[in-house]
Amino acid sequence: MEVTDQELKIDLQKQGVLMTSLNELYNWGRKNSVWPLQFGLACCAIEMIAASMARYDLARFGAEVFRPSPRQADLMIVAGTVTKKMAPQVVRLYNQMAEPKYVIAMGACAISGGPFKQGYNVLKGIDRYLPVDVHIPGCPPRPEALLHAFMTLQNKIASQPLTGPARPRHLRAGAPSEFSVPQCGPHGLVPPSNPAVWRPPTAAQAG
Amino acid sequence: MSAILETPVRAFESVSGAGAGEMLELAIGPHHPSTHGVFRMDVVLDGERVRRLKPVFGYLHRNHEKIAEGQSYLSSMPYTDRLDYFCSLTNNWAYALTVEKLAGLQVPERAEYIRVITAELTRVQNHLCLIGFLLQDMGASGTPLMYAFREREKILDLFESLTGARMMCNYMRFGGCRVDLPTGWMEEAQQVVQGLARFLDEFEALLTGNEILMARTQHIGVLSSAAAVNAGVTGPMLRASGVNYDVRKVDRYGVYDRFDFRIPLGDHGDTYDRYLIRVLEMRESLKILRVALRDLPEGPVMDPKARLRGFRPKAGEAYGRIEAPKGELGFHLISDGSPNPFRYRVRPPSLMNLTVLEEMCMGRMLADVVVILGSVDIVLGEVDR
């Protein structure tokens, strides 16, 4: 049952009666125990560590348990520059994570290649291979920005329905949970992007 | 591209000989919590003993040098921040020093003092983080690293109010510094330095005499002074092996000749010495900082002759080096008179320091490899560039 009458709900709570739906309860549990993968690529990883330390205290969001194994992680924070040598490993790590899983692209490099975009060895955005849930701009983003991304992700998790056509990927039978790992070819990564995840933006003709 | 194509790299022929048992080839990294980034060690193990170790890097090769050759001198300054991303200010200084050498620019006295202050603060926070991570690798999960980062945040606050950024400061310019100190900065810095001295006492009480730390680090990863010199190792690693070499004393760049500080040296060259050298260096840095903050002269922070726009040094070449927290950081620039450098080369200290990793790890247990690597102090942004 969907609890829609918020005032009634609040009134009942004052009487000591908690009314919720299975959907809300399920998402409440999920959103407050997002365990990130302990996985740093470059400069942004230091800000990620700083966010988990005393001053910024990521533990407030239930996300301080950085797991070194992808099997135990729910969230991949792509913190730093993804090079063409590293991209296959990043996708492989994502594939090894269990569903439900989420991705935060932290920093300009993970989003688009950032200041190193013009380089010959830098991937121009991890969203070419992985479905990214939250992008954080910045070079590097401040720990507060990472906290904001966490809250954004928590809101996203909280709003996911368990049933219906809008249900998330891990509840849809047949939806892909693994994505093809790119290979190093003679002129960079093959394929250059995963068309199931990302398509190059097309310029629309005006008029 | 061929080096990238074959994964995993079959780096070793099979080890044979008397006593050779079944060998296990193990790739530690590029995703491994102990490798401090995206670094891989291909290790051959006999039981738990290391028989071969081959570092594999390039997972963070970001084309720093190539990009720098295609743009003006000043445009590379923010890129140097991202070399060793713990120590952006010392990277800035090394690059600015080289260009100043190339173009013959003078730096005002106040700017030199500010450079010393920021560089020594950078050294303190780098060493703090290193010790925190080293202890984290040893299994002291959290506590020393938490303390280290708590103090680091105070230094980053100073950097932020001075330069506008916590980590990527982009502060120095050819012929000086970008901006002068904001009001009240000196008092804040003095407070932080005082607090750091107290914190170091507390930190050492927690760590230096700690039985587990001593058991895990003493006589482990011994690097002889001859091997260190032959491999071109610099910085705290070299001094932990007992070689008295510090670019601050050798070159006396900037205004370092005006400060009275000592160079701590190690006796054994083991991991414990490398830990202790960093603690002692932080104390010496605080000594420099106290004097520099006291004696900071008034004046401009930029050479009035320095031009930021249309900067074209005359043809020639220059090598500039400083004592970065990790060792000798050098830049080699060749100018052909155009706005872009013709050749731009970085001598990263942690890459050179990595070359002795196999020698230090040979015959040790696998668990020691993690600790030895932690004591080398690598940052992959600088190793791979």
* pLDDT per residue as tens digits for the range B300-357: 888 877 777 778 888 999 999 999 999 999 999 999 988 899 999 999 999 999 889 8
Q: Which residue of chain B has the CA closest to A49?
A: B149
Cα of B27 to nearest chain A Cα, Å: 13
For chain B, residues classed under CATH 1.10.645.10 are: 64-384
| Amino acid at site B134 | L
pLDDT over threshold 70, residue A168 = yes
Residue B1: predicted pLDDT: 33
**Whole-number Å distance between alpha carbons of B383 and B385:** 6
User: A47, B62: Cβ pair inside 8 Å?
Assistant: no
Residue B21: predicted pLDDT: 62
CA atoms within 13 A of residue B349's CA, in its CB half-sphere = 26
A-facing residues of B in 2-21 (CB < 8 A) are: 4-5, 7
* pLDDT per residue as tens digits for the range B100-135: 999 888 899 999 999 999 999 999 999 999 999 999
> What tokens appear for A11 in the block?
């009134």
pLDDT > 70: percent of chain A: 97
> What tokens appear for A54 in the block?
């005393």
Residues in chain A: 207
User: B85, A42: Cβ pair inside 8 Å?
Assistant: yes
Residue B346: predicted pLDDT: 93
How many beta-carbon pairs below 8 A join chains A and B?
Answer: 94
Residue ranges and CATH numbers for the domains of chain A are 35-158 (3.40.50.12280)
User: B33, A139: Cβ pair inside 8 Å?
Assistant: no
Pick the residue of A72, A85, A112, A187 with the most B CBs within 10 A to test the interface with B by mutation.
A85
Residue B7: predicted pLDDT: 39
B146 part of contact set with chain A, CB < 8 Å: yes
| Amino acid at site B207 | L
* pLDDT per residue as tens digits for the range A141-151: 999 999 999 99
Cα of B45 to nearest chain A Cα, Å: 22
CA atoms within 13 A of residue B335's CA, in its CB half-sphere = 22
Pick the residue of A37, A39, A41, A43 with the most B CBs within 10 A to test the interface with B by mutation.
A43
* pLDDT per residue as tens digits for the range B263-286: 999 988 899 999 999 999 999 999
User: A186, B86: Cβ pair inside 8 Å?
Assistant: no
pLDDT over threshold 70, residue B149 = yes
Q: Give the model's confidence band at B38: pLDDT under 50 very low, under 70 low, under 90 confident, else very high.
A: confident
CA atoms within 13 A of residue B266's CA, in its CB half-sphere = 27
Helix/strand/coil percent split, chain B, to 5:
50, 15, 40
Residue B332: predicted pLDDT: 94
Convert B65-101 to b/e letters by CB count within 10 Å (16 or more is b): bebbbeebbeebbbbbbbbbbbbbbbbbbbbbbbbbb
Residue position matching structure tokens 């792509």: A78
Tell me the average pLDDT across A119-125. 88
**Whole-number Å distance between alpha carbons of A70 and A24:** 26
The pairing of strands B176-177 and B316-324 is: unpaired
Residue position matching structure tokens 């997002």: A34
* pLDDT per residue as tens digits for the range A76-96: 999 989 999 899 999 999 999
The CATH number of domain B64-384 is 1.20.1440.230: no
pLDDT > 90: percent of chain B: 44
A55 part of contact set with chain B, CB < 8 Å: yes
Residue B328: predicted pLDDT: 92
CA B105, B108, B113: angle at the middle one, nearest 5?
120
| Amino acid at site A138 | G
Write down the H helix ranges in A79-136: 87-96, 107-112
The ipTM of this complex is 0.84
B232 part of contact set with chain A, CB < 8 Å: no
**Whole-number Å distance between alpha carbons of B146 and B329:** 28
Phi, psi of B342 (to 5 degrees): -75, -40
* pLDDT per residue as tens digits for the range B199-256: 999 999 988 888 888 888 888 889 999 999 999 999 999 999 999 999 998 988 889 9
User: B82, A118: Cβ pair inside 8 Å?
Assistant: no
Residue B308: predicted pLDDT: 73
Ranges A195-204, B15-24, B80-89: which has the least confidence: B15-24
Tell me the average pLDDT across A19-38. 88
Q: Give the model's confidence band at B5: pLDDT under 50 very low, under 70 low, under 90 confident, else very high.
A: very low
Tell me the average pLDDT across B47-69. 89
Residue B20: predicted pLDDT: 53
The partner residue sitting opposite A89, judged by closest CB among B30, B62, B67, is B30
Tell me the average pLDDT across B62-76. 90
**Whole-number Å distance between alpha carbons of B132 and A24:** 40
User: B167, A86: Cβ pair inside 8 Å?
Assistant: no
pLDDT over threshold 50, residue B369 = yes
Nearest to B55 by CA among B68, B36, B69: B36
pLDDT over threshold 90, residue B10 = no
User: B381, A43: Cβ pair inside 8 Å?
Assistant: yes
User: How many CB atoms within 10 Å of residue B26?
Assistant: 14
The partner residue sitting opposite B67, judged by closest CB among A68, A83, A118, is A118
pLDDT over threshold 90, residue A178 = no
Rounded to the nearest angstrom, the gap between the alpha carbon of residue B171 and the centroid of all alpha carbons in its chain is 18
Higher-pLDDT residue of B19, A69: A69
Residue B2: predicted pLDDT: 36
Chain B partners within 8 Å of A36 (Cβ): none
pLDDT > 90: percent of chain A: 31
